[in-house]
Amino acid sequence: MGTASHLIVIGGSWGGIQASLSILSALPSDYSIPIVLVLHRLRNTDGDLNSIFEKKLLLKAQEVEEKDNITKGYVFLAPSNYHVLIEKDYSFSLDVSELENYSRPSIDVTFTSAADVYGKNLIGILLSGASKDGSSGLKYIFEKGGTSVVQDPREAEVSTMPQSAIDIIPECTVLNLEGIKEFLFFLHDHRTA
Amino acid sequence: MKLDNEDLFEQEVEELIQEIHTHYGYDFSGYARASVYRRIKRFLNNQHLSTIGELREAVFNDSFYFESFLQEITVNVTEMFRDPSFFLSLRTNVLPILSTYPFIKIWDAGCSTGEELFSLAILLKEEGLLERTKIYATDINQKVLKQAKEGIFSASNIAAYTAGYYASGGKQEFSSYYLSNYGSLKFDSSLIKNVVFYPHNLATDSSFNEFHLVVCRNVLIYFNRQLQERVFTLFDESLVNLGYLALGKKETLAMSEINKNYNFVDKGNRIYRKTG
Ligand SMILES: C[S@@+](CC[C@H](N)C(=O)[O-])C[C@H]1O[C@@H](n2cnc3c(N)ncnc32)[C@H](O)[C@@H]1O
């Protein structure tokens, strides 16, 4: 069983790899909140994305295996061609059901499932991308009392994804990458377990 | 304690699962819940139902309705040559060993609509083993078994399937295996002339034969650990000594009791061999 009470879920598509690398490589290896990263990627490709993150991060990067416990010190990457779901006992489930928004893994699927488990203790961050995936999941996080953060579309490599989230969640927090890093450091320093 | 909507929903789902077991005999109690919740919400949405109460009424009044609910819960999504590296590994690491047996028996458990089964059959044919192989194709869901028997798949995925076939070491023209017709592909039925189809529930049914290879991919991800353990024991009982077990790319024996009796043939592709 996983234990940590908070969770950060990050989604990105086109431009999302660079953006998430920039954020996550700034975080220390003992970062206090576990992180799940859902990036759109090519189907049936192997774990090369994982090795990029392994190399660049102080945190440990790991592709989700089914039933892995959600633990701090890790960035869990959604594997290619699977949706990632979150169980009540803070472990992962994988799912090969239909594509959502033409995507598997889909950001909406993970955001929604995580919001049902973590509620107000969930922080969702949506980055650059040329897709609409993620915005309704981010909205759901907001409705469940969690925190919704969107990368500033003016800074994003492709603005479609962050902009469509802002369009449906006017209350979300819009930050550039520097701002997102600062916010994550703030959470690291102030999180009460 | 006040229950919020989500807690209430989950409680009602537990009751529904119990009633389905009593009423229809299908036991979903060992299914991992995150996917069950998601599929039920999706089903409610698609059927324009607003409560579990309405769903219960529909499901218990009408067994056809229950069938469509079953479809939704069991997630039948599949593809041909999913993870081509797996099929390539099967071709190069496993089939040459199986070819030393005079007669080969394979169990494709959770075969869904048959895309995986036809992929296996094509491999066996190209390695010259199809004639002396019997495949048992099983699934909890009778409707998908019927579709599997027909071997008709949507043509919309043909590019991915063709690429998957060649990446799996395919030796022919992929198009020689099917006839294309109005957006669908009808696969050569001689590929499955030695296949028998049975409804079999991994959650409740027992071992029914001995096999040289058991293929069960992307089914166990939907089960909790306890049910997974049941299924692993079932597979262990169903494998000959030195038999092979192939799981999905993200499934593992690591946590299982039977793990100690199995070695990796191909770790990345989750192919195991029983040591006996
Ligand atoms: C996602 S599909 C996997 C199909 C194929 N093996 C693949 O990897 O593409 C899961 C299949 O498992 C079947 N299944 C679910 N629960 C089962 C059970 N208790 N016993 C047997 N089959 C089951 C479903 O009906 C479905 O066809």
Do B97 and B68 belong to one domain? Answer: no
Taking residues B114-120, report their average pLDDT: 98
Residue B142 within any structural domain of the chain: yes
Q: How confident is the model at residue B5 (pLDDT cuts 50, 70, 90)?
A: confident
Q: Nearest CA to CA, how far is A57 from chain B (Å)?
A: 23
Residue B217 within any structural domain of the chain: yes
Residue whose token pair is 């409740």: B204
Residue B90 within any structural domain of the chain: yes
B113 lines ligand 1 (CB under 6 A): no
For B81, the closest chain A residue by CA position comes to A44
Residue B78 within any structural domain of the chain: no
A120 CB within 8 Å of a chain B CB: no
Is there a contact between A93 and B32 if contact means CB atoms under 8 Å apart? yes
Residue B138 within any structural domain of the chain: yes
Distance, CA of A113 to CA of A108 (rounded, Å) = 8
Q: Nearest CA to CA, how far is B101 from chain A (Å)?
A: 32
Which amino acid type is present at position B129?
L
The contacts of residue B188 (CB under 8 Å, 6+ apart) are B151, B177, B178
Do B157 and B190 belong to one domain? Answer: yes
Residue B107 within any structural domain of the chain: yes
Do B117 and B246 belong to one domain? Answer: yes
Distance, CA of A10 to CA of A19 (rounded, Å) = 10
Do B115 and B224 belong to one domain? Answer: yes
pTM of structure: 0.95
Q: Which domain holds residue B263?
A: 84-274
Residue whose token pair is 């953006």: A19
The contacts of residue B22 (CB under 8 Å, 6+ apart) are none
Is there a contact between B250 and A44 if contact means CB atoms under 8 Å apart? no
Is there a contact between A109 and B75 if contact means CB atoms under 8 Å apart? no
Taking residues A160-165, report their average pLDDT: 97
Do B34 and B171 belong to one domain? Answer: no
Residue B79 within any structural domain of the chain: no
Strand order in the sheet with A74-77: A60-63, A74-77, A35-39, A7-12, A122-126, A147-151, A173-175
Residue ending a domain, among B42, B73, B104, is: B73
Do B50 and B145 belong to one domain? Answer: no
Per cent of chain A over pLDDT 70 is 93
Do B38 and B139 belong to one domain? Answer: no
The CATH T-level fold of domain A7-192 is: Rossmann fold (3.40.50)
Q: Which of residues 28-67 of B touch A (CB under 8 A)?
A: 32-35, 37-39
- Beta carbons of B116 and B108 less than 8 angstroms apart: yes
* pLDDT for position B2: 45
Would you give the end-to-end CA distance of chain A in angstroms?
Answer: 16
Do B230 and B99 belong to one domain? Answer: yes
Residue ending a domain, among B73, B92, B109, is: B73
Distance, CA of B16 to CA of B29 (rounded, Å) = 10
Residue B189 tokens read as 């039925």
A79 CB within 8 Å of a chain B CB: yes
Distance, CA of A78 to CA of A94 (rounded, Å) = 9
Per residue, the 3-state secondary structure of chain B, as one string, reads CCCCHHHHHHHHHHHHHHHHHHHHCCCCCCECHHHHHHHHHHHHHHCCCCCHHHHHHHHHHCHHHHHHHHHHHHCCCCCCCCCHHHHHHHHHHHHHHHCCCCCEEEEEECCCCCHHHHHHHHHHHHCCCHHHEEEEEEECCHHHHHHHHHCEEEHHHHHHHHHHHHHCCCCCCHHHHEEEECCEEEECHHHHCCEEEEECCCCCCCCCCCEEEEEECCCHHHECHHHHHHHHHHHHHHEEEEEEEEECCCCCCCCCHHHHHEEEEECCCCEEEECC
In a mutagenesis test of the B interface, which of A94, A111, A116 is the best target, namely the one with the most B β-carbons within 10 Å? A94
* pLDDT for position A3: 52
Strand order in the sheet with B133-139: B195-199, B133-139, B104-109, B211-216, B239-247, B271-274, B262-266
Is there a contact between B34 and A65 if contact means CB atoms under 8 Å apart? no
Do B61 and B175 belong to one domain? Answer: no
* pLDDT for position A32: 94
Do B125 and B157 belong to one domain? Answer: yes
- Beta carbons of A111 and A148 less than 8 angstroms apart: no
Q: How confident is the model at residue B1 (pLDDT cuts 50, 70, 90)?
A: very low
Whether A40 is catalytic is yes
Q: What is the pLDDT of residues A103-147, one digit of tens each?
A: 999 999 999 999 999 999 999 999 999 999 999 999 999 999 999
Q: What is the pLDDT of residues A21-41, one digit of tens each?
A: 999 999 999 999 999 999 997
Do B69 and B92 belong to one domain? Answer: no
Q: Across chain A, what does the average pLDDT equal?
A: 93
Domain residue spans of chain A: 7-192
Which of A81, A93, A98 is opposite residue B34, by nearest beta carbon? A93
Do B96 and B200 belong to one domain? Answer: yes
Q: What is the CATH number of the domain that holds B123?
A: 3.40.50.150
